[in-house]
A and B are shown apart, each in its own frame.
Chain A
Amino acid sequence: GAVVSQHPSWVICKSGTSVKIECRSLDFQATTMFWYRQFPKQSLMLMATSNEGSKATYEQGVEKDKFLINHASLTLSTLTVTSAHPEDSSFYICSASGDPRRPNSEQFFGPGTRLTVL
């Protein structure tokens, strides 16, 4: 299957700082990327859908001004957690989907980024 990478794999930051997480599709062009959040021992919750060249669509309850998503190219999407607070500490996972002509096309997941806010 296709490969999706995330960087960094883990990050520790002070409260109030901003953190950027990158999601890259390494061997295919991802027209759509998804950002998920997973709290300990819980399932993945979709945060937003990111389409290349357009604004991200956020799920209900997710603050778009706090979680800035940029999908500037077909291989890169970034999630910036602005003014991070301890409650933002979580495991953030992205996924990428390649072919919009194929409904329900397979999503390839990145390895995740563990964010810890002190």
Chain B
Amino acid sequence: SQELEQSPQSLIVQEGKNLTINCTSSKTLYGLYWYKQKYGEGLIFLMMLQKGGEEKSHEKITAKLDEKKQQSSLHITASQPSHAGIYLCGADIGGAQKLVFGQGTRLTINP
């Protein structure tokens, strides 16, 4: 079974709109990572969250980790075409730095 569930699997939004991607685990997470990937390319690190209730922002992207450290959300404000891509959440579930990944969310921004 998938240890990390991402939703939605795909998302199409109008440029300028806000959007949220969720990542849920049934286990407590030692660390939660958000990456962006363009198809067939490597991963671009966005943010890492470790503490319950932690929130980080970079430019128009904000990521939060809930108090129980089992759910994270990635929020993009005023989306732009450059935000298009595949967003992956990865988590260290066992505390050994080995990451498991969600299925990914394919984001399309329509002009």
Which residues of A are interface residues toward B (Cβ below 8 A)? 1, 6, 32, 34, 42-46, 49, 91, 93, 95, 97, 103-112, 114
Contact = CB atoms under 8 A, between A and B. Distances in A.
A108 B101 contact: no
For B43, B50, B95, the residue with the greatest tally of chain A CB atoms inside 10 Å of its CB is B43
Contact of A49 (B43, B98, B103): B98
Interface of B: 30-31, 33, 35, 40-43, 45, 48, 50, 88, 90, 92, 95-104
A109 B50 contact: no
B25 to A, nearest CB: 14
B48 A106 contact: yes
Contacts of B88: 43-44
Contacts, number: 61
A111 B30 CA distance: 25
A103 B95 contact: yes
A32 to B, nearest CB: 6
B100 A46 contact: yes
B98 A108 contact: no
Contacts of B35: 109
Contact of B103 (A42, A46, A93): A42
Nearest to B49: A104
Nearest to B2: A43
26 contacts: A1-B45, A34-B98, A43-B101, A43-B102, A44-B101, A45-B101, A46-B98, A46-B100, A49-B97, A91-B40, A93-B42, A95-B43, A103-B30, A103-B95, A104-B31, A104-B50, A104-B92, A105-B97, A106-B48, A107-B33, A107-B97, A107-B99, A109-B43, A111-B41, A111-B42, A112-B40
